[in-house]
Amino acid sequence: MNQEVTDFIEALKEPWHKEVTVSLREVVHQVIPNVHERIQYKKPHFLKNGKYAAAISTAKETVSFTIFNCSDLMFPGGMFDGPPERKTLKLRKGETFDSELLVSLLSQTSSSL
């Protein structure tokens, strides 16, 4: 794990931001064991073989999880936004995510990277 990403998470002011971000990071590491982490555009990005697999960003009222390389995959309606090549799940305080669904989607999108 990249220390810059760890520092980013530790610096988050909202406890729920930290909790969700740590959980999302764990999903990425579960799916892509040798994932390369880095801070880019002031947020954590996760790469496989030098290609973007996912990113996490925080805003005042949301934590967003973006999955890349999505053009060939169908995503559940209403949960994800974005163009065909990348989809974003936005979580608000108190909301949870289906980790099995994210593992499945990220596994499929990252398998060709």
Token digits for 81?
A: 């936004």
Tell me the per-residue pLDDT of 30-72, one tens digit each, with 9 for 90 and over: 999 999 999 999 999 999 999 999 999 999 999 999 999 999 8
Whether the model clears a pTM of 0.75, i.e. scores above it, the answer is yes
* Whole-number pLDDT of residue 78: 87
Report pLDDT for 67. Answer: 98
pLDDT at 11 over 90: yes
Rounded CA-CA distance 93/22 in Å is 14
Rounded CA gap, 100 and 112, in Å? 20
Adjacent-strand bridge partners of 54: 46, 67
- Going by pLDDT thresholds of 50, 70 and 90, the confidence category of residue 109 is very high
In angstroms, rounded to a whole number, what is the distance separating the alpha carbons of residues 57 and 65? 7
